[in-house]
């Protein structure tokens, strides 16, 4: 007879399982590590063969990402000494910094549209989820299915009429238009996730509050909301990540003013082709917040991903 | 005795009446809470869908505003269904769907099964594995394009290192044979963790006593795996396949950034083709009909699949 329990794996099995999973995790991380490393390479190091693992780190990619530069004559360069370290980096290519690039603006658009649509989806989603959870609504199941089925549409299929609609309403390429659009996409997931969280809060809490003389509104606001706070927070992260990552609508409906970072990053062009360190720097800045979020909030996130399976 | 009467009176009074006295009725609150969501979905999902259906029967072109719009009946549908090129796009989509799901299920389930051994530190490593699926597909597609570069790319270098082939002798994105596989690899890298998480939820839902009972009956661990583990995880796995299937049928951002549908049109999935028709050739009416056909296909396949899934669950 073995000493361990029947369902618990032996320590050798655990050791093998652990090594295989860690091996997979390391392989999976390789592209991400590589992209972060490329952000700190010079253009020459980025395209060297064989690929360089050891190199002299430089902030060139980041400088190129945030600035626009122009080539200058030798006389001009001699007459105007570099003003700061960023300028100094650019000087080695006989260039000077003439102003900021569009990246900062695009990044801010991502922030505004991401947080705006997340706030709106959570606000509307919590109200709807509460109503579906606590009140008898006619055709509730049909309505819930309708809400979920809106996610099956390919974004490009909906994009045609939305493009026309936004054009006639003056919403194309505006922050408001994108916030409304991302809210409409996110709200189905928000309602489903939040309904699950609110279902778990015992009704007795509110009923006690109602007996104490609270109105429904107060009971919702003062009793249910604080109880659902963790659920609301993890749903919010999901909505934020979707809006942050979205590309198809952004590339079709925005151009000059409301364009977000995902359609912008791939278009960063350097001297003679794509400026890979700058692209990598942009990707790093854009992806890092999501990676940190995921690691810090993993418990809540993992539950959200599997909600559909776990509920049944 | 009087106590019992009071109870009966209290029960007979509908709680709704009692609540109406304080603030709005529950019914009114319910509608106030649900209405904005329904309104938003009607405005940004259902209204556009109806508009697409209407446009699909016309020859409308969105880039020519003054042009007269003619009703051409089912002509658009006829042209799409008899167009050989569209069947090629459908084949490319089917190839992508089949192989991504195949690899993701295989690797995802294997990983979940290993993680379920509960080795030390498994929560941390699970999170590391999950990272790719949280990232922006467009940005991911863009940097994989860098990894796939023939001479300088890391992917080619590593493949060359292990197989002894010259890293500049093959082009993942440029060759007709390899390009369909290049998008399968990236999608698998990105989405295997999703299948893994759902399988893990499935494995964790199996109560220990089932295995204990099987062990008492002297069932071998291989037998336990096939008669307990697989059937119990199957509904979860099928759900993961459904989600991945719908998502990959809609696939656009990742592949557009990686290959742009090329070389030629070997990786031109239906969504990419649709975007070309709608926003590059501006055949709005034609593209609308195309969109409707795709939507009906996804919806139809998903409904059939859900029926099968429910049967598996009932067993």
Structural domain contains residue A95: no
Concatenated DSSP letters of A157-222 = HHHHHHHHHHHHHT-TT-HHHHHHHHHHHHHHHHHHHHHHHHHTS-HHHHHHHHHTT--HHHHIII
Among candidates A13, A25, A252 on the partner chain, residue whose Cβ is nearest the Cβ of B128: A25
Task: Note the pLDDT tens digit of each residue in A218-250.
Answer: 888 888 898 888 888 888 888 998 899 999 999
**Three-state DSSP class for A99?**
strand
> How many independent structural domains does chain A possess?
1
Structural domain contains residue A15: no
Cis peptide before A90 (omega within 30 of 0): no
Residue of B nearest to A246 (CA): B136
CB < 8 Å to B37, chain A = 124-125, 127-128, 147, 187, 191
For chain A, residues with pLDDT lower than 50 are 1-4, 308-312
Between chains, do A305 and B24 touch, taking CB under 8 Å as contact?
no
Structural domain contains residue A120: yes
Per-residue pLDDT, B92: 94
Domain residues for A173?
Answer: 104-267
CB < 8 Å to A290, chain B = 134-136
Residue of A nearest to B291 (CA): A157
Per-residue pLDDT, A229: 86
Between chains, do B201 and A150 touch, taking CB under 8 Å as contact?
no
Among candidates B43, B147, B189 on the partner chain, residue whose Cβ is nearest the Cβ of A34: B147
What residue ranges define each of the domains in chain B, with the CATH number in brackets? Answer: 84-314 (1.10.3720.10)
Per-residue pLDDT, A273: 64
CB < 8 Å from A in window 101-160 of B? 107, 111, 114-115, 117-123, 125-132, 134-139, 142-144, 146-147, 149, 151-154, 157
Among candidates B48, B119, B146 on the partner chain, residue whose Cβ is nearest the Cβ of A158: B48
Domain CATH number, residue A219: 1.10.3720.10
Phi/psi region, residue A84 (left: phi>0; alpha: psi -120 to 50; beta: rest), is beta
Residue of B nearest to A253 (CA): B279
Strands (E), A64-192: 67-71, 95-100
Q: pTM for the full model? A: 0.86
Structural domain contains residue A149: yes
ipTM of the complex: 0.85
A178 and B CB contact within 8 Å: no
Per-residue pLDDT, A304: 67
For chain B, residues with pLDDT lower than 70 are 1-23, 315
Among candidates A150, A286, A310 on the partner chain, residue whose Cβ is nearest the Cβ of B139: A286
Task: Note the pLDDT tens digit of each residue in B207-260.
Answer: 888 888 888 888 888 888 898 899 989 988 998 898 899 889 989 999 999 998
Find out whether B222 and B256 touch, Cβ atoms under 8 Å. Answer: no
Structural domain contains residue A9: no
């Amino acid at each position: 007879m073995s000493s361990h329990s029947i369902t618990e794996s032996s320590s050798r099995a655990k050791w093998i399982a652990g090594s295989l999973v860690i091996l997979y995790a390391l392989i999976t991380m390789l592209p991400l590590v590589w992209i972060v490393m490329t952000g700190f390479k010079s253009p020459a190091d980025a395209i060297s063969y064989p690929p360089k693992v050891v190199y002299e780190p430089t902030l060139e990619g980041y400088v190129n990402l945030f600035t626009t530069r122009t080539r200058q004559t030798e006389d001009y360069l001699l007459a105007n000494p570099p003003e700061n370290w960023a300028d100094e980096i650019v000087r080695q290519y006989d260039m000077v910094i003439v102003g900021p690039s569009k990246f900062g603006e695009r990044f801010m658009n991502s922030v505004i549209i991401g947080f705006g649509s997340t706030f709106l989806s959570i606000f509307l989603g919590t109200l709807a989820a509460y109503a579906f959870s606590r009140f008898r609504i006619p055709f509730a199941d049909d309505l819930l299915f309708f809400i979920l089925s809106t996610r099956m549409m390919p974004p490009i299929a909906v994009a045609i009429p939305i493009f026309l609609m936004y054009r006639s309403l003056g919403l194309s390429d505006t922050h408001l238009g994108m916030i409304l659009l991302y809210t409409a996409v996110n709200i189905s997931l928000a309602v489903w996730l939040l309904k699950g969280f609110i279902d778990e809060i015992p009704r007795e809490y509110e009923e006690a509050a109602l007996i104490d003389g609270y109105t429904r509104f107060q009971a919702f606001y003062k009793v249910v909301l604080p109880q659902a706070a963790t659920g609301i927070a993890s749903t919010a992260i999901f909505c934020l990540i979707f809006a942050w990552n979205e590309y198809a609508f952004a590339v079709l409906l925005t151009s000059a003013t409301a364009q977000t970072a995902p359609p912008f990053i791939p278009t960063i062009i350097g001297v003679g082709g794509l400026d890979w360190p700058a692209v990598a720097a942009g990707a790093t800045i854009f992806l890092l917040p999501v990676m940190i979020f995921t690691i810090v909030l993993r418990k809540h996130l993992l539950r959200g991903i599997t909600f559909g399976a776990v509920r049944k | 005795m009087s106590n019992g009467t009071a109870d009966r009176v209290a029960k007979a009074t509908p709680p709704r009446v009692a609540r109406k006295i304080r603030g709005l009725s529950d019914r009114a609150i319910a509608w106030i809470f649900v209405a904005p969501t329904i309104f938003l979905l009607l405005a940004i999902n259902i209204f556009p869908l109806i508009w697409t259906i209407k446009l699909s029967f016309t020859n409308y072109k969105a880039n020519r505003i003054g042009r007269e719009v003619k009703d051409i009946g089912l002509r658009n549908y006829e042209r799409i269904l008899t167009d050989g090129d569209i069947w090629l796009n459908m084949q490319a989509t089917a190839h992508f769907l089949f192989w991504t799901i195949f690899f993701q299920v295989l690797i995802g389930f294997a990983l979940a099964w290993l993680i379920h051994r509960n080795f030390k530190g498994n929560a941390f490593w699970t999170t590391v594995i999950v990272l790719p699926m949280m990232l922006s597909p467009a940005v991911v597609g863009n940097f994989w394009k860098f990894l796939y570069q023939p001479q300088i790319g890391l992917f080619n270098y590593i493949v060359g290192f292990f197989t002894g082939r010259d890293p500049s002798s093959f082009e993942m994105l440029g060759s007709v044979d390899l390009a369909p596989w290049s998008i399968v690899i990236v999608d698998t890298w990105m989405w295997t963790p999703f299948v893994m998480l759902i399988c893990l939820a499935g494995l964790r839902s199996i109560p220990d006593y089932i295995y204990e009972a099987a062990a008492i009956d002297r069932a071998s661990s291989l037998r336990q795996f096939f008669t307990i583990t697989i059937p119990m995880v199957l509904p979860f796995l099928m759900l993961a396949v459904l989600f991945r299937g719908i998502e990959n049928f809609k696939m656009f951002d990742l592949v557009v950034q990686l290959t742009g549908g090329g070389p030629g049109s070997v990786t031109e999935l239906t969504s990419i083709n649709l975007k070309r028709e709608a926003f590059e050739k501006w055949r709005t009416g034609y593209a609308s009909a195309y969109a409707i056909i795709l939507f009906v296909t996804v919806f139809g396949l998903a409904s059939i699949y859900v029926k099968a899934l429910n049967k598996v669950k009932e067993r």
